Amino acid sequence: MVSKDSPKHIAIIMDGNGRWAKERGLPRRKGHEAGADSVHAAIETCFKLEVSYLTLYAFSWENWSRPKAEIESLMILLEKYLTKKTPELVEKNVRLKAIGRLSHLPKRCQEALKNGIEKTKHNTGLTLVLALSYGGREEMVDVARTLAEKAVKGEIKPEEINSDLIQASLYDPELPDPDLLIRTSGEMRLSNFLLWQISYSEMVITKTLWPDFREDQFKEAVEEYFRRHRRFGKV
């Protein structure tokens, strides 16, 4: 399936863990645990498709409003995942990065994330980006604050603010815009994800719940991408 037109950067809104668990009469945390297996499958599929960047919407800014017990279980799962998978990421030449208001994460998660990023920073294969405590509007607010502070200091003039300066002020300015955005569970919304970056991304919505989204479903989404003609506003 690999093609010269294969998406370089795929972003995924991983939705449906709670519904998957509810359908099986299980607690929500079991859905999140099953979803972690789909993360592994997505990474493996990216190797096969020669995708360069994979960005996963792992925990949104709005998710902080969920019940405290669920948030705690998610943070425990995140810490365990990072601790367990970092050696594997090193072995498989995966570079780990993260975007979002990371300082809001529990200290133990920040440390596990920092360790994973540090140990994989020289890897040259797939770049795995975790969007954690992330919101697209919040990113734009943080960009606006950064540019406003520079203007107050006289480092830039307001009239000099353009797309390039905004891009340079994003959480990860070097991250290319996604070619393909996949959302699982059939919901038809962006949920405050990468609002600046997905201006011209192709979108594929699948009804498959995230814990059931494995290699076959991933490849189906990419096949749909191949059937698109990207115009970028042109004819």
Backbone angles phi, psi at 13, to 5 degrees: -90, 105
Backbone angles phi, psi at 10, to 5 degrees: -115, 130
- Which residue is catalytic, options 5, 15, 123, 142? 15
Cα distance between residue 167 and residue 85, in whole Å? 30
- Residues 6 or more apart whose CB falls under 8 angstroms from that of 219 comprise 1, 45, 49
Could you please report the per-residue DSSP string of 160-187?
G--HHHHHHTSSSTTSPPPSEEEE-TT-
Cα distance between residue 71 and residue 78, in whole Å? 10
User: Reduced to 3 states, what is the DSSP secondary structure of residue 83?
Assistant: helix
- Which residue is catalytic, options 63, 115, 123, 192? 63
| Sign of the C-alpha dihedral computed for residues 196, 11, 129 and 56 taken in this order | positive
User: Reduced to 3 states, what is the DSSP secondary structure of residue 98?
Assistant: strand
Tokens of 120: 């994989």
Q: Is 63 a catalytic residue?
A: yes
Distance (Å) of CA 24 to CA 21, 36, 81, 110, 202:
5, 17, 23, 32, 32
Q: Which residues are catalytic?
A: 15, 63
